[in-house]
Structure 1
Amino acid sequence: MQHRLRRLGTLLILIAVSAALAWWWHIPHAPWLVHKKPLAGQRVCVIGDAGWGNQPALAVGQAIVELHCDQVRYQGDLVYPDGINGPDDPLIQERFLPPLQPALDAGIPVYLVLGNHDWKQDGEAWLEVARRHPLIHLPHFYYFEQWPDACAFSLETTWFEKWYHLHRQGNWLKKSKQIAREQGCRFSMGFAHHPMFSTGSHGNAHEMINLGLKHKLVGSLDLLLGGHDHILSDEGEYRGTRQLISGSASINNDLGPASDSQTFTRATHGLLTLDFHENDEKLDAEYRFYSVLGEPADPLITLLWQGHQPGKGVR
């Protein structure tokens, strides 16, 4: 009897280990959003960290409409300080939706990634929040998008603080990049809350992101767009990948020492725009940083910095 119990116990352990290894090594599925309209000719506006829903955030929200954005990329920290406790949390109406309302009223779609503050309570609830609003998109915590002329990877970087998610999203990213190359992506972007490089006070990405994600992005994509640090910043190019930060919709923080690659940084409320243009069968992006001050209904929008990034696709 004891021998049979030992054999049964050993068998159960082997089954558990096999299931764990299968979970660890398999490539998880994530949504693939296919856009029929080319990205060329569109203006993408990038905001981040508007989660207080305060006067600066409301002014940035109005600037989205004033700048004629075709779509909005919201780089996380959607509700400060501790996220939401469910899809009916009153903070959704008080802090999340007000900065976005001008864009939603104008029919401008908003695409989300989550930030570290969004996981402090019920991060899963944001999937339901997006389902309830037709113009707000969060199909999964990470997802891939394809246009006829471009591609984008929206990433979940807070998970990289948890070792067991490091490998899974990395597998998905590797496979998605391979498919993007096969599809002929001419301009590639990565949207994530945590920047890989930053001269703001939060600094560069922490070690788990360095270990599990950075090397899969830097040198592979044309642009990395981040928030987290409450600044506007062009951190320059690293192996052909440019890091831009737009994380100052509702808060500003201090600046750290400038890196050798950095070309522009400002601790002010504002946002980033990306304008995509055809150029001899290639797709390029003109990027502009704007400060946004003044009253929410009548924001003062000032161009601070602009630059150009040629598209090379996914390497």
Structure 2
Amino acid sequence: MAMNNKFYATILLVVYAAVAIVNVAAELQRFEHLPTKPDGSLDILVIGDWGRRGLYNQSHVAFQMGKVGEKIDADFIISTGDNFYEDGLIDEEDPLFAESFTQVYTATSLQKQWYSVLGNHDYRGNVLAQLSPTLTHKDSKWLCLRSFIELDVALEESSATWKIVIGHHTIFSAGSHGNTQELVDQLLPILEAKNVDLYINGHDHCLQHISSQNRPRKKNL
């Protein structure tokens, strides 16, 4: 995914693992990636539903990610949740973290910042373990945050050219899980009203690109 624009993109990491929207006032934590390419573009890799100790084709996908990441010179990686199967992490010392993350995503091109949200499988385990800075000390590319924010306020205050919201559950999907009605009713109106360009999610274990006829598509995506 390349965003050919010299302006910042606001990327909101939002967790809807319980399929509910929580509006609690909090300051939005901001991350800025200054473009390093001559054309001012950002190139991003996105992956979700992956942590399986390298099994179930995880290692094969990681190998291909490394090749693509090198080709496009990826700026950072986004994980859309379900980071560790089947039941998240036990604690910060759980060997599953290294076995499913550090020891799998070893390509040089993937040693960039990872921004991760939580999925329903992660909530089966110790959520605080994934949020702990201890894991970042173990592997500096790991970052997982859970922020309960007033999403509409954060989007309204953002002056970014690109507005991207990251979650785990689908809004619409032709996959096995289908649509998530709570998000259709509660989240989609906010995204449309605040002119969000992309909602990126995991959960359905397939690749889909769903667009709206009500909004024109931006160029250079």
TM-score range, shorter chain: 0.7 to 0.9
Structure 1 or 2: more helix by fraction: 1
Contact 2:92 2:135 in 1 (8 A): no
Q: Structure 2 CA distance, aligned partners of 1:241 and 1:122? A: 41
Structure 1 residue 26, shift from structure 2 partner: 5.4
User: What's the secondary structure of 2:209's corresponding residue?
Assistant: strand
C-alpha separation in 2, matches of 1:198 and 1:81:
23
Larger radius of gyration: 1
1:244-281 deviations in whole A, cap 9, x for unaligned? Answer: xxxxxxxxxxxxxxxxxxxxxxxxxxxxxxxxxxxxxx
Equivalent of 2:157 in 179, 184, 188: 179
Q: Give 2:120's aligned residue.
A: 116
Q: TM-score, normalised by structure 1?
A: 0.54
CA distance in 2, matches of 1:188, 1:108: 21
What value does the CA root-mean-square deviation take over the aligned residues?
Answer: 2.6
- SS, match of residue 189 in structure 1: strand
Q: CA deviation at 1:217?
A: 1.7
1:41 alignment counterpart: 41
- In structure 2, the residue matched to 1:194 is 169
Tell whether the 8 Å contact from 2:81 to 2:122 is kept in structure 1 after alignment.
Answer: yes
Runs of 4+, deviation exceeding 6 Å: none
Larger strand fraction of residues: 1
Report deviation, 1:63.
1.5
CA distance in 1, matches of 2:35, 2:51: 31
Please give the alpha-carbon distance, in whole angstroms, between the structure 1 residues aligned to 2:161 and 2:25: 25
Pair 1:186–1:283, CA change in 2 (3 A): farther
Secondary structure of residue in 2 paired with 1:73: strand
Aligned counterparts, 1:278-297, within 5 A: 284-285=220-221
Provide closer, same or farther for how the CA distance between residues 98 and 217 of structure 1 changes in structure 2, counting only shifts above 3 A: farther
* 1:35-63 CA-partner distances (Å, limit 9, x unpaired): 33378423211111112131511111122
> Counterpart of 1:42 in 2: which secondary structure?
strand
Within 2, Cα distance between the matches of 1:238 and 1:191? 21
In the TM superposition, residue 79 of structure 1 has moved relative to its aligned partner by: 0.7
Report if the CA contact (8 A) 2:48-2:80 is conserved.
Answer: yes
Residues 25 and 107 of structure 1, relative CA distance in 2, 3 Å threshold: closer
Query: Where do 5+ consecutive residues of structure 1 fail to align?
Result: 1-23, 143-167, 243-281, 286-315
1:77–1:114 contact (8 Å) kept in structure 2:
yes
Question: What SS does structure 1 have at the residue aligned with 2:44?
Answer: strand
Cα distance in structure 2, aligned partners of 1:230 and 1:83? 17
Match of 1:204 among 179, 182, 191: 179
Stretches of structure 2 lacking an aligned partner (at least 5 in a row) = 1-21
Aligned twin of 2:55: 54
Distance 1:42 1:91, change over 3 A: same
2:204 to 229, 248, 260: 229
Q: Distance in 2 between matches of 1:230 and 1:25?
A: 28
Deviation at 1:222?
Answer: 1.0
Give deviations 1:104-134, integer Å, cap 9, x for gaps. Answer: x753221111111001121111112543222
Quote the residue 2:111 is aligned against: 107
CA distance in 1, matches of 2:220, 2:88: 36
Distance 1:196 1:76 in 2: 15
TM-score, normalization by structure 2 = 0.75
In 1, distance between residues paired with 2:118 and 2:124?
Answer: 11
Shift of 1:71: 1.7
Q: Percent identity?
A: 26
CA distance in 2, matches of 1:241, 1:47: 26
1:29 shift after superposition: 2.3
Which whole-Å CA distance do the structure 2 matches of 1:224 and 1:116 have between them? 18
Are 1:134 and 2:140 an aligned pair?
yes
Contact 1:82–1:121 under 8 Å retained in 2: yes
